[in-house]
Structure 1
């Protein structure tokens, strides 16, 4: 139970610090490198895929090669190559 509380506390604290830096950059004439680094770093972290998990642990993940069945892809009539000649007429 303590782990989720600590995780939420750290996330909330980091969010408060990031908003402080952004608002200080926007409204304070004396804002500088520290605020810019915090704001840019927080924005950069938001671009990371932090919610990725291995395929084996992902909910609803398909086994290797099963994506064709999930999408309904068949190999019953493959496309002809351009050098295959003409088909039956």
Structure 2
């Protein structure tokens, strides 16, 4: 399935990428599966896209790791925002 990936914050800086279209395998049908698949790209991907280091949104709505992804979805991946 083809999806749009958009990177913000730390992932964008460290992966040196702001956007891509990805052809995701069927077994990566959730956000958790997508992140696991992206981590297979190598060390920096594994480090930057660890489940505890990123938050995600599907079509501009925050979503948890068990959320399903579908053809043509836009997935935003960004670092958690902390405040005080």
- State the TM-score bracket (shorter-chain normalisation): under 0.3
- Which structure has more RCO (C-alpha within 8 Å, separation ≥ 6)? 2
Compare CA radii of gyration and give the structure with the larger one: 1
The structure that is helix-richer by fraction is 1
The structure that is strand-richer by fraction is 2
TM normalised by structure 1 equals 0.17
